Amino acid sequence: MLPNGKFEDGVIKSLIADDFEVLFRTSLSECIRRRVSEFALMYREVTDEEYESCLLTILRAIHDPAIPKAGAHRQDNWEKGWLENFHAWEATAGGKGAKINAILPRYFGKYGFLRINRTLIRPLSDNFEYFSLCLITDWLFDVYMRKAGSIYEFGCGTGYHLVRLRNYNPTASLFGLDWAPASQKIISSLASQGYVTNMQGLRFDYFNPDQNIRLAADSIVYTVASLEQLGRDFNPFLAYLLRNRPSLCVHVEPIAELLDKSNILDFLSIEYFQKRNYLTGFLDRLHALKAEGKIDIVLEQRSFIGSLLIDGYSIVVWKPV
């Protein structure tokens, strides 16, 4: 990590491509290395006082009775949130950048501190959290999705990842699926106003998969922080995938099995997963399916990137055999 100068009481650092190669345990293509430079991710280390106050914020969140569990009862909340983005999108004039900013979820950058490599940092550049998630997803788009004929993002929200995915695959048919109708409204507007070609939104509920939605041959499925919302109730969707046999499934999700319970930040992350009823047992179930000879697991690793409350962007890639 490169020290670039002084700021407040800490040294300003920037995350460079080599850092992401360490975090992701791989070498990155020139294209992703360029993305890292474009994002110019500046931060500083936290002070001891900040570290302590961050731990207190996390513990308070874990014990806060007002923070709800995820689950089937939350559909209206998601609809309300994405409708706000839809109205912001409609109200925003200007170029592509401003329009796309209008559909970014409001939950990025909420706490002013983030996790990188199991330490807490104070981001100094704009959109740090959003850009670091972009680097995880864009790396996966670059490696796995360039040649697919059809790509489906389940639980896609406003569809902003699909818009970037177009940079890596100019021709695939893109599908954004979500249980919130506001998601389909935004995607249909993105497509009709020419912000992305050959993309459509479909209504889909993980708890009750619509069997009439059949995945095309040569398709790739991915999810980003949306299986998260299912707790232990992921089996209907897993059965749907096994029936439809996509060529690859790529997930960026909270996976407790990949964290280290002997590390305090990881430990608190797992506690927060439990508090929110986030995805539980998914990787173990994939291991069982592998043992039964039904799937292959291509990659399972944490990203070492997270928000203040959780290390929630672990990566699992698998395929039906």
Ligand X SMILES: C[S@@+](CC[C@H](N)C(=O)[O-])C[C@H]1O[C@@H](n2cnc3c(N)ncnc32)[C@H](O)[C@@H]1O
**Chain contacts with ligand X (rule: CB under 6 A):** 78, 105, 155-157, 161, 178-180, 204-207, 224-226, 229
13 or 86: whose CB is closer to ligand X?
86
Distance CA 71, CA 232 (A): 10
114 or 224: whose CB is closer to ligand X?
224
CA 132 to chain centre: 10
102 or 156: whose CB is closer to ligand X?
156
CB of 146 to ligand X, least distance (A): 20
By the 8 A CB rule, do 265 and 259 touch?
no
The token pair at 291 is 């043992």
CB of 125 to ligand X, least distance (A): 20
CB of 45 to ligand X, least distance (A): 27
16 or 213: whose CB is closer to ligand X?
213
74 or 319: whose CB is closer to ligand X?
74
Distance CA 109, CA 163 (A): 21
Distance CA 154, CA 175 (A): 8
CB of 318 to ligand X, least distance (A): 18
42 or 151: whose CB is closer to ligand X?
151
CB of 211 to ligand X, least distance (A): 15
Per-residue H/E/C for the chain? CEEEEEECCEEEEEECHHHHHHHHCCCCCHHHHHHHHHHCEEEEECCHHHHHHHHHHHHHHHHCCCCCCCCHHHHHHHHHHHHHHHHHHHHCCCCHHHHHHHCCCCCCCCCCCEEECCEEEEECCCCHHHHHHHHHHHHHHHHHCCCCCEEEEECCCCCHHHHHHCCCCCCCEEEEEECCHHHHHHHHHHHHCCCCCCEEEEECCCCCCCCCCCCCCCEEEEEECCHHHHCCCCHHHHHHHHHHCCCEEEEEECCHHHCCCCCHHHHHHHHHHHHHCCCCCHHHHHHHHHHCCCEEEEEEECCCEEECCCCCCEEEEEEEC
CB of 209 to ligand X, least distance (A): 9
169 or 229: whose CB is closer to ligand X?
229
Distance CA 170, CA 294 (A): 32
41 or 180: whose CB is closer to ligand X?
180
CB of 202 to ligand X, least distance (A): 10
49 or 73: whose CB is closer to ligand X?
73
CB of 81 to ligand X, least distance (A): 8
Distance CA 275, CA 261 (A): 16
CB of 37 to ligand X, least distance (A): 23
